[in-house]
Amino acid sequence: MKKNIILAGVGGQGILSIAACIGFASLEEDLFLKQAEVHGMSQRGGAVQSHLRISSNEIASDLIPEGKADLIIAVEPMEALRYLPMLAKDGWIITSTNPFINIPDYPETATIMAELEKQKNIVTIDADQIAQDCGNVKSANMVVFGASTPFLGLKIESVETAIKKLFGSKGENVVETNLKAARAGYEQAIKQK
């Protein structure tokens, strides 16, 4: 088992929480893991990415080679498209459809959607709406994470343990909301797979 995952979003959108969940779940299953993060200047409202690699064998490079990513998990639709050169021919894109507009020349949403629809293997999710329905719009990243789980090859128990571990200190309500959000994301993804 080996998965190369690009996590994409804008600084502050919570891609590192998704990375942490996948990390915890991988540890539950005794997999090897490498996760390269972006810290420092680029975090300030800029485009951020994380390279996450999980495998049953030891991993050499912290960075994923171009064209070798199995998955792009994005919490922002334009950011999903930024990393297409990283994606393998048969790779999948899991992305939120909610734009994060903090630049003056952000493209029309319709243009982005049209570009996303051209992609062969893609799951698109209205993560904000689903998170809202689950109780808190802040769980949008967990909706996207949930939607990625059918493609990760991780057990559902490991995924739930990971969410409990990450949000445990914030109380039972927060854990429940995030579990609910992840499950809702999962349901959506299954429909589109």
Partner 1 sequence: MQKLLLLGDEAIAQGAIDAGISGVYAYPGTPSTEIMEYVQASTEAKQGTIHALWSANEKTAMEAALGMSYTGKRAIVCMKHVGMNVAADAFVNSAITGANGGLLIVAADDPSMHSSQNEQDSRFYGKFAFVPILEPSNQQEAYDMTRYGFELSEKMQIPVVMRITTRLAHSRTGVALQEKRKQNEIKLPENLRQFVLLPAIARKQYNELLAKQPKLENASQESGYTKYIDGSDKKLGIIACGIGYNYLMENFQDEKLNHPVLKVGQYPIPASLIQKLYDACNEILVLEDGFPIVEEALRGTLNNGKKIHGRLDGSLPRVGELDPNNVGESLGKKTVSGAAIPELVKNRPPKLCDGCSHHDSLTALNEALGTYTKGRVFGDIGCYTLSALKPLEAINSTVDMGASITMALGASDAGLHPAVAVIGDSTFTHSGMTGLLDAVNNNTPVTILILDNSTTGMTGGQKSSALGRIESICTGIGVDPNHIRVLKPLHNQHEENVAIIKEELEYKGVSVIIPRRECIQTLARRMRAKAKK
Least CB distance to partner 1 at residue 97 (A): 15
**Closer to partner 1 at the Cβ: 40 or 191?**
40
**Closer to partner 1 at the Cβ: 11 or 129?**
11
Instruction: Pick out residues in 76-115 that bind partner 1 (CB under 8 A).
Output: 78-79, 81-82, 84-89, 91, 102-103, 105-107, 111-112, 115
**Closer to partner 1 at the Cβ: 130 or 159?**
159
Instruction: Pick out residues in 104-163 that bind partner 1 (CB under 8 A).
Output: 105-107, 111-112, 115
CB atoms inside a 10 Å sphere around CB 7: 29
DSSP string covering 137-163:
GGGHHHHHHHHHHHHHT--HHHHHHHH
Least CB distance to partner 1 at residue 85 (A): 5
Is residue 68 part of the contact set for partner 1 (CB under 8 A)? yes
Is residue 168 part of the contact set for partner 1 (CB under 8 A)? no
Closest to 136 (Cα-Cα) out of 165, 102, 174, 106: 174
Report how many residues bind partner 1 under the rule CB under 8 A. 51
Is residue 41 part of the contact set for partner 1 (CB under 8 A)? yes
Residue with tokens 């996948």: 22
**Closer to partner 1 at the Cβ: 46 or 168?**
46
Buried b (16+ CB within 10 A) or exposed e, 89-120: eebbbbbbbbbbeeeeeeeeeeebeeebeebe
**Closer to partner 1 at the Cβ: 102 or 187?**
102
Listed in sequence order, the DSSP H helices in the chain are 15-28, 77-82, 109-118, 127-134, 140-152, 156-167, 172-192
Question: Where is 125: in which H helix or E strand?
Answer: strand 122-125
Binding positions for partner 1, rule: CB under 8 A: 10-11, 23, 27, 32-47, 51, 59-69, 78-79, 81-82, 84-89, 91, 102-103, 105-107, 111-112, 115
